[in-house]
Amino acid sequence: MDAMIDLFTSFSGLLSLGIIAFVCVMGGYITRMALRKMNEEQARLTHADTERRLKTA
């Protein structure tokens, strides 16, 4: 219980809490960006494949 009190009341505990929050937010941002890039790449490949099939048909 003393560790929790130190985490929320001391300066070093609050800095640690801030870093933990920052890392979580950064992880969420990078995950969202990677998923968006994967979806864009899949859409680009699907569009290119559709155009290729239309030209050969």
The 10s digit of each residue's pLDDT in 25-41 is: 999 999 999 999 999 99
* E strand or H helix that includes residue 10: none
DSSP 8-state assignment for residue 30: H
DSSP state of 1: -
Q: Give the pLDDT of residue 51.
A: 87
Task: Give the closest residue to 40 by CA, choosing from 27, 51, 32, 52.
Answer: 32
In this prediction, residue 6 has a pLDDT band, given cuts at 50, 70 and 90, of very high
In 3-state terms, what secondary structure has residue 57?
A: coil
